Amino acid sequence: MEQITLDAQIASLFMPEERGVFTCAAGYSHARYEQYTELSQHVHAQMLGILDACSVGYYLFAGSMVGYVRNRKMPYWMDDLDIMIFPDQVRQFEDVALPVLRETGFNCWEPGPYKGGGFHMLSMQQGNSRTLSIPLSDSRQVSVPWAQIDVFYSIVDDKGFIRNPGKWGLYHVKEVPADWVHPGRFVEIGDLRVRAFSRLEEDIRKEYGDVVNNIVIYSHGSTFLRANNTPWPKFEREFLRFLQQTSSSLPEGIEQSALDAYAPDPARTYRCTEKQSFSSICRGILEERAGTVRLADGEQTFWAMDFKRLFGTLRVEGTAHSLLQAQRAAHLRAFVDAMEFTSDEAWAEHDRCVAGLRRVLGH
**Measured CA angle at 273 (ends 267, 275), to 5 deg:** 140
Q: Could you tell me if 153 and 44 lie in one domain?
A: yes
pLDDT digits (tens, 9 = 90+) for 204-240: 999 999 999 999 998 777 889 999 999 999 999 999 9
Same-domain pairing of 97 and 184: yes
Average pLDDT estimate for 265-269: 97
User: Are 208 and 261 part of one and the same domain?
Assistant: no
User: What integer pLDDT is reported at residue 162 of this predicted model?
Assistant: 94
- Considering the domain architecture, whether residues 120 and 200 belong to the same structural domain is answered as yes
Query: Is residue 1 over pLDDT 50?
Result: no
Tell whether 89 and 237 lie within a shared domain. yes
Average pLDDT over residues 47-64: 96
* Domains of the chain: total: 2
Q: Are residues 240 and 356 in the same domain?
A: no
| 274 and 321 part of one domain | yes
76-92 pLDDT, tens digit per residue, is: 998 899 999 999 999 99
From 180, 212, 247, the end of a domain falls on: 247
Q: Specify the CATH number for the domain of residue 20.
A: 3.30.460.40
**Maximum CA pair distance of the chain?**
69
Whole-structure pTM value: 0.94
Q: Model confidence at 4, in pLDDT bands (50, 70, 90)? A: low
Alpha helices, DSSP H, located in the chain: 3-11, 38-53, 63-71, 87-91, 98-103, 178-181, 200-208, 232-246, 256-260, 278-288, 304-311, 323-331, 344-361
Same domain, yes or no, for 179 and 69? Answer: yes
pLDDT score of 169 = 80
Pairing of strands 147-153, 185-189: unpaired
What is the average pLDDT across 143-167?
A: 93
Give the end of a domain, one of 189, 223, 247: 247
Please give the Cα distance from 162 to 245 (Å, whole number).
45
Q: Are residues 75 and 217 in the same domain?
A: yes
Highest mean pLDDT among 8-12, 207-211, 267-271: 267-271
- The CATH number given to whatever domain includes residue 330 is 3.40.50
Q: Domain limits at 351?
A: 256-361
User: What is the rounded distance in angstroms from the CA atom of residue 154 to the CA atom of residue 171?
Assistant: 9
Q: What is the mean pLDDT of residues 194-209?
A: 95
Contact 131, 72 (CB under 8 A): no
What mean pLDDT, rounded, does the chain reach? 93
Q: Is the dihedral of CA 249, 253, 259, 265 positive or negative?
A: negative
Q: What is the pLDDT of residue 115?
A: 83
